[in-house]
Amino acid sequence: MTDETPETDHDNARHHEKMAKKKAARDKIMAGKTIEKGLLIVHTGKGKGKSTAAFGMVFRCVGHGMKSGVIQFVKGAWGTGERTVLEKFPDLVTIKAMGEGFTWETQDRERDIAHSRAAWEEAKKMIADPDYKMVLLDELNIVLRYDYLPLDEVLEVLKNKPADKHLIVTGRNAKDELIEIADLVTEMEQVKHPFRSGVKAQAGIEF
């Protein structure tokens, strides 16, 4: 005895037919995707999760045994959970936290510029090094927003990166010129945030 009715059988058959057509269409689309290349990826917007998503891709590289480099332009003063974990894989991940905090914390433009320049020089070395499959330039957008580095110089390096290397740039207010040359751009949109209700930054959530 079964609970299935002719109507249910009909629904199941329609669903199967619909999914079969969708799979055939999807397979046809995927068959035309044959290019493999290094991507320039930008995570921007006011919503939370820009760096978190980027570090997720670094973790994926670790899982595939591919080497990644991380330059943190701003958050150097923070002790973050992702850094603690990734430091356990020194053969696969190099992390250089080169900032001293957000601009309203440092309150010293000349020092911010000097730290940004030092971080950028390290970033250029990683980008040029063939051992690194992926390089994360965390909060580079903040540096560019405040003109701590010449935009034209940064864009030139990013445009001429090695063809097989993935670069990820994070931070609010990505420059239009950067968005123009990027392969993949995601804008995080804030719908709700606990900070507005008086909730402070917490371990495991913000850092």
- The tens digit of pLDDT for each residue in 152-165 reads 999 999 999 999 99
pLDDT at 91 over 50: yes
Task: Give every CB contact of residue 139 below 8 A, 6+ residues apart in sequence.
Answer: 51, 72, 73, 74, 75, 99, 170, 171
pLDDT at 168 over 80: yes
Q: What band does 78 get if pLDDT is binned at 50, 70 and 90? A: low
Which pLDDT score is estimated for 195? 75
* pLDDT averaged over every residue in the chain: 89
Q: What band does 1 get if pLDDT is binned at 50, 70 and 90? A: very low
Tokens standing for residue 135: 């390089």
Task: Give every CB contact of residue 201 below 8 A, 6+ residues apart in sequence.
Answer: 195, 207
pLDDT at 100 over 80: no
Which pLDDT score is estimated for 199? 82
Which pLDDT score is estimated for 201? 81
Q: pTM value?
A: 0.83
Tokens standing for residue 31: 């068959």
Which pLDDT score is estimated for 180? 98
Q: What band does 14 get if pLDDT is binned at 50, 70 and 90? A: confident
Nearest alpha carbon to residue 142 among 81, 84, 71? 71
Which pLDDT score is estimated for 69? 98
Instruction: Give the largest Cα separation in the chain, rounded.
Output: 80
Q: If you average pLDDT over residues 128-156, what whole number do you get? A: 97
pLDDT at 124 over 60: yes
Q: What band does 177 get if pLDDT is binned at 50, 70 and 90? A: very high
